Chains A and B, each alone.
With several copies, the nearest count.
Chain A
Amino acid sequence: MTIDFTFKIGGEAGQGLQSIGYALSKAFAKGGLYVFLNQDYESRIRGGHTFVQVRVRNEPVYTLSEEVNMLIALNKETIDLHKTELVKGGAIIFDGEKIPIKAEDNCYSVPLEKLALEKGGSKIMINTVATGAAMGMLDYDFNLLADVLSEEFGRKGKDVVESNVKAARAGYDYAKENYRGKYDFTIRPLGSSKRMFLNGSEAIATGAIVAGCKFMAGYPMTPTSLILEFFASKARDYNLVFVQSEDELAAINMVIGAGYAGVRAMTATAGDGFALMVEGLGQAGMTETPIVAVVGQRPGPAVGLPTRTSQADLLFMIGAGNDEFPRAVFTPSTIEDAFWLTIKAFNIAEKYQIPVIILIDQHLADSYRTVDRFDLSKVKIERGEMLSEEQIKAMGPYNYKRHQFTESGVSPRAIPGTPGCLVVTDADEHNEEGHIIEDAETRTKMVLKRLRKFEGVKKEIEPPKIYGPEDAKITLIGWGSTYGAIREAVDTLRKDGIDVNMLYINVVWPFPKDEVSLVLSKAEMSFVIENNATGQLAYLIKSETGREVNEKILKFDGRPFSPTHIVKEVKKKVKG
């Protein structure tokens, strides 16, 4: 049987919607099902309106769905706002004792608060009861939920685990006893899973640790604070240092200091915070210091909508900084991509001694998905030309030149503190030794040396991938977190007889000019799909290839694309 079931859990900030969503997801994941979880929240801690969506499938899932099968409403507003999103036969779970509505057929009242107090001993358990109730409605295996609760609350002691399990059980039993039969949709485990369930931030932070990033400095900012927090939480066990800096300027400059000293180092911020790091980016470029910066996009300009998603910083990333220097900008599309591109970011940063930007957005940062466990044996650590103590010795005392002219433009690195060599570099223009200069000739050679490195970077970049048949008539083009939505839109459109494929760009700089040009030359019609108002990828494609994309599907309200939305927009243009 095909399962494609979406829960929407709505209420106020502070009601613990996220833990309902997470517990449900984990329980399904443990049952071998595929899960996608996304969050919509306001820039506040309590109150307002917020929701979490959990989509469960028996096949891999890459994105959210607009069609809701079960609405778990912790307040009345949720019902008012989202009732219409329910599919036919979709259920509403709510606490009828607290939310006085005219209960229609699909409204299943569960005394959440009462059960929480009775069985869990506290109102805090309301969300656990709700989680249990949802599972009961679907007749899912309760033990898997119990496992999740044990893991989640294990740290807090046995008592806490027990009362949570009891509360969940109470909801489960209540729903099952009262509504099974009337409500007959069922989800069953597919088998025991070996999949992980994590979000983009966790994937990047994990990728960084795996890649050997030992130092992170950052200033908290949505949507990348979790990257900092995750890294900080692993400091003791993995020999890391995290510094919460006084501002973003300090963060990137600390990272440069650490990179100079020979350690893999990273910072994470939002586009607006990155605006404060632009000078530092240039410093990394000038001193040829490898650094990695994660930039999480959210709507702007300035502070904008702090907790929402956006893809409007693409051109900013490519052009940021005075004068010209090589950089790479990665735009991971999925959780897996986020993990592997982070590792690659460190490799490229060190091999070419350049800054690498990992450009994500709130939607990728905050959305969870079930993915196959990363195979760590496949991780390659490439630190580039790094001279050993022996090699330094062989050069003769103090003959090392940090910015030596080479054919590739890459000058071997040395670790400051190595006997017999000095590592000298400068934010000013400098000579091979790293000392400040004024003359035109050295300047010209240094500029060319730095720019030459970009040729090497270009060769490292894998061509963008096509999803669907190579020779489709219509090509949908995207970058970043829209991968899932476009991919599913392609599936749907093809089913509906529209010959479409997807071109996906997860490295926007160096831009894969030839490949994109080739694909566009083959397509009869092309669309870009972007979370911005002007079509920045379309602009970049035109700048780089001279080719115009035919249509733009743009959205800049801070909310992610759904496949349905894309399908509708494509059809409008294709039929019209």
Chain B
Amino acid sequence: MVTLKDYEGGPTAWCPGCGNFSILLAVKRALVEMNLEPYQVLIVSGIGQAGKLPHYMRCNTLNALHGRAVPEAIGAKLANHELKVIAVGGDGDGYGEGGNHFMHAILRNIDITYIVHNNQIYGLTKGQASPTSDKGFVTKTTPEGVISLPFNPLALAISLGATFVSRGFAGEVDHLVELIKKAMQHKGFALVDVLQPCVTFNKLNTWEWYRKRVYKLEGTDYDHTNRLTAFQKALEWGDRIPIGIIYKSDRLTFDEQLPTLKKGPLVKQKIDPLACEKILDEFM
């Protein structure tokens, strides 16, 4: 039996009170509850506070470049689709620098889980606006307040045909554990956007701010299989903020559609130069 101890990592460098601790705990708990051994799991992370997550636990870890966790995760997954691959990063990381990869990963429906620590701020670089910062939010780079609309990852994901779109909250760990488990069980690209208070730099979207607004979709009569109502739900932001699975559907994954992978992971395929004579024949 796998236990939380198996996932215990080194000391963290996050601020006391940061929402990241809860997310770290939720990830570990989800893995334990799924009875996965650390060696079966690969976490690919970006750069930022969120990106440090795998260093604070135990599993295979590829701490990628800022914004590039998703493509590195895709490469690793396609090379060895027996690995359970999770990509982790921040809102700046995933929706700013990595925005293009995010979109195209959705279109491909690669079978990975993507957890975004969405604190609506650039934490590690000390408090600049992020793509998800609310309008009017004053930060070091927006002294007059943010004037762009905040990036809505859920609506975007639904618009592009994502098959698993969800939102969690660092303040609801049990709920988050379930979300992460469901995301990992889902076949295809699964987004878990997690509202994460940054106690140091985001004095607007605080624990309190979120707690007051957040409500769980589970238990309501919300139907997460209808794309249109899901889209509507994804737009909800303000007094009430839904958490839970916003949208879920089924569609073949990228990996499933590759004939090659039916024969087993690429990494286990033999290298055999002599099997290539036929290619040379074509040039004769």
Decide if A and B touch, CB cutoff 8 A.
yes
Binary contact track A192-203/B, C-beta < 8 Å → 1, others 0: 001111100010
Chain A's nearest CB lies how many Å from the CB of B233? Answer: 26
The reply on A523 being an interface residue by CB < 8 A is no
Q: What is A's interface to B at a CB cutoff of 8 Å? A: 14, 42-48, 194-198, 202, 206, 209-212, 214-215, 217, 219-222, 225, 228-229, 232-251, 253-265, 272, 279-280, 283, 287, 302-303, 306, 373-374, 376-377, 379, 381, 398, 415-428, 434-436
Contact A197 B269 (CB under 8 A): no
Contacts of B200 in A (CB 8 A): 14, 45-46
Contact of B101 among A246, A259, A379 (CB under 8 A): A246
A283 vs B44: C-alpha distance in the bound complex, in angstroms? 13
| Contact assessment for B123 and A262 in the assembled complex, using a CB-CB cutoff below 8 Å | no
Q: Are A202 and B283 in contact (CB under 8 A)?
A: yes
B4 within 8 A of A: no
Give the bracket for the number of chain B residues in contact with chain A: 35 or more
For residue A291, give the distance in angstroms from its CB to the closest CB of chain B: 10
Closest CB in chain B relative to A404 CB, distance in Å = 16
Instruction: Give the residues in chain B near A418, CB-CB below 8 Å.
Output: 39
Contact of A195 among B40, B58, B259, B284 (CB under 8 A): B284
Known contacts: A217-B75, A381-B273, A416-B60. The answer to whether A246 contacts B143 by CB under 8 A is no
* Cβ-based interface call for B223 (8 A): no
B28 interface residue, CB < 8 Å from A? no
Chain B nearest CB from A297 CB (Å) reads 17
Nearest to B146 among chain A residues (CB) is A244
A46-B14, A48-B13, A416-B80 given. 10 additional CB < 8 A pairs? A42-B13, A43-B13, A196-B280, A196-B283, A198-B283, A206-B279, A225-B125, A257-B76, A280-B68, A415-B80
B240 contacts A by Cβ under 8 Å: no
* Residue among B37, B131, B258, B279 making CB contact with A246, cutoff 8 Å: B131
Known pairs A222-B125, A229-B141, A419-B39; A236 contacts B283 (CB<8 A): no
Shortest Cβ distance from B108 into chain A, in angstroms? 8
> Would you call A421 and B64 a contact (CB within 8 A)?
no
Asked if residues A417 and B39 are in contact (CB atoms below 8 Å), the reply is yes
User: Which of A14, A210, A244 counts the most chain B CB atoms within 10 A?
Assistant: A244
Q: In the complex, identify which listed stretch (B158-166, B181-189, B213-221, B260-268) lies at the interface while the others stay far away.
A: B260-268
B contact residues vs A (CB 8 Å cutoff)? 10, 13-16, 37-40, 42, 44, 47, 49, 52, 54-55, 58-68, 71-80, 82-83, 96-97, 99-101, 103-104, 122-126, 128-129, 131, 140-144, 200-201, 258-261, 263, 266-267, 269, 271-280, 283-284
B13 touches A435 (CB 8 A): no
A392 nearest CB neighbor, chain B only:
B39
**Chain B residues whose C-beta falls within 8 Å of the C-beta of A46 in the assembled complex:** 14-16, 200
Nearest to B62 among chain A residues (CB) is: A260
In the bound complex, how far is the Cα of B277 from the Cα of A210, in angstroms? 9
10 A-B pairs with CB atoms under 8 Å apart are: A45-B124, A45-B126, A46-B14, A209-B276, A228-B128, A236-B260, A247-B67, A247-B100, A253-B101, A425-B63
Q: List, in ascending order, chain A residues with CB within 8 A of B284's CB.
A: 194-197, 373
Tell whether, in the assembled complex, residue B76 and residue A416 are in contact, meaning their CB atoms are under 8 Å apart.
yes
Question: Do A45 and B80 touch (CB < 8 A)?
Answer: no
Q: Judging by beta carbons under 8 Å apart, are B141 and A220 in contact?
A: yes
The answer to whether A246 and B103 touch across the interface, beta carbons within 8 angstroms, is: yes
In the assembled complex, the CB of A29 is this many whole angstroms from the nearest CB of chain B, namely: 8
Are B68 and A239 within 8 A (Cβ)? no
| Option from B40, B128, B276 in Cβ contact (under 8 Å) with A376 | B276
A379 to B143: give the CA distance in the assembly, Å.
28
Q: Complex: how many Å from CA A247 to CA B104?
A: 10
**Residues in B whose Cβ lies below 8 Å from that of A381:** 271, 273
- Determine which of A215, A253, A422 lies in contact with B72 in the assembled complex, contact meaning CB atoms within 8 Å: A253
Q: Assess the A244–B128 pair: CB atoms within 8 A.
A: yes
Contact B273 A379 (CB under 8 A): yes
Nearest residue (CB) in A for B44 is A257
Q: CB within 8 A of A422: which of B16, B60, B65?
A: B60
Contact (Cβ within 8 A) A261 B76: yes
| Contact, CB under 8 Å: A425 / B71 | no
Q: Which of A14, A233, A245, A423 meets B60, CB within 8 Å?
A: A423
Docked Cα-Cα span, A415 to B124, in Å, equals: 31
Looking at chain B's contact residues, the main secondary structure is: mixed
A257 touches B72 (CB 8 A): yes
Chain A residues with CB under 8 A of B76: 257-258, 260-261, 416
Say how far A205's CB is from chain B's closest CB, in angstroms: 9
In the bound assembly, the distance between CA atoms of A234 and B73 in angstroms comes to 24
Nearest residue, chain A, Cβ from B39:
A419
Please indicate the chain A residues that have their CB under 8 angstroms from the CB of B67 in the complex.
247, 249
8 nearest A-B pairs in the assembled complex, by CB-CB distance = A257-B75, A212-B271, A261-B79, A254-B75, A196-B283, A253-B71, A257-B72, A46-B15
Question: Of the candidates B40, B122, B131, B269, which one forms a contact with A239 in the assembled complex, judged by CB atoms under 8 Å apart?
Answer: B269
Most chain A CB neighbours (cut-off 10 Å) among B74, B103, B259? B74
Q: Which residues of A are found within 8 Å of B73, using beta-carbon distances?
A: 257
- The distance from the CB of A483 to the nearest CB of chain B, in whole angstroms, is 20
How many Å from the CB of A306 to the closest CB on chain B?
8
Residues of A within 8 A of B131 (CB): 246
Give chain B residues whose Cβ lies under 8 Å from the Cβ of A48: 13
Q: What is the distance, in angstroms, from B170's C-beta to the closest C-beta of chain A?
A: 17
- A243:B97 contact, CB within 8 angstroms: no
Q: Which residues of chain A are near B68, meaning CB under 8 Å? A: 249-250, 253, 280, 283
Pair A220/B75 contact, Cβ less than 8 Å: no
Find out whether the CB atom of B142 lies under 8 angstroms from the CB atom of A232: yes
Considering only CB atoms, which chain B residue lies closest to A286 in the complex?
Answer: B65
Query: Are A257 and B124 in contact (CB-based, < 8 A)?
Result: no
CB distance A255 to B61 under 8 Å? no
Query: Smallest CB–CB gap between B91 and chain A, Å?
Result: 12
In whole angstroms, how far apart are the Cα atoms of A420 and B40 in the complex? 10
Q: How far is the CB of A152 from chain B (nearest CB, A)?
A: 11
Q: Bound complex: CA of A262 vs CA of B60, how far in Å? A: 13
Tell me the bound Cα distance from A221 to B49 in angstroms.
Answer: 14
Q: Please, how many angstroms separate the alpha-carbon atoms of A422 and B6 in the complex? A: 12
A198-B283, A416-B80, A422-B61 known; A257-B74 Cβ under 8 A: yes
Shortest distance in angstroms between B282's beta carbon and chain A's nearest beta carbon? 9
Distance of B266 from chain A, by nearest CB (Å): 4
Cβ of A420: which chain B residues have Cβ within 8 Å of it?
A: 39
Q: Are B97 and A219 in contact (CB under 8 A)?
A: yes
| B131, closest chain A residue (CB) | A246
CA distance A45 to B74 in the complex (A): 31
CA distance A221 to B61 in the complex (A): 24
User: Of all chain A residues, which has the CB nearest B42?
Assistant: A416
> Chain B residues near A45 (CB, 8 Å)?
14-15, 49, 123-124, 126, 200-201
Instruction: Verify B71–A302 contact, CB threshold 8 A.
Output: no
Closest residue of chain B to A232 (Cβ to Cβ) is B141
Chain A residues, Cβ within 8 Å of B266: 214-215, 239, 241, 258, 263
Most buried by B among A235, A283, A381, A436: A436
Bound-state CA distance A43–B38 (Å) is: 27
A302 nearest in chain B by CB position = B65
Specify which chain A residues have a CB less than 8 angstroms from the CB of B72 in the assembled complex.
253-254, 256-257, 260
Residue with the greatest number of chain A CB neighbours at <10 A, chosen from B42, B64, B82, B274? B64
With a cutoff of 8 Å between Cβ atoms, the chain B residues found around residue A376 in the complex are 273-274, 276-277, 280
Provide the bound-state CA to CA distance between A424 and B63, in Å.
8
A240 proximity list for chain B (CB < 8 A): 260
Pairwise interchain contact B128-A265, C-beta atoms closer than 8 A: no
Complex Cα–Cα for A244 and B78 (A): 13
* B80 and A262 contacting across the interface, CB-CB below 8 Å: yes
Nearest A-chain residue to B64, judged by Cβ: A427
Q: In the complex, how many angstroms separate the beta carbon of A193 from the nearest chain B beta carbon? A: 8
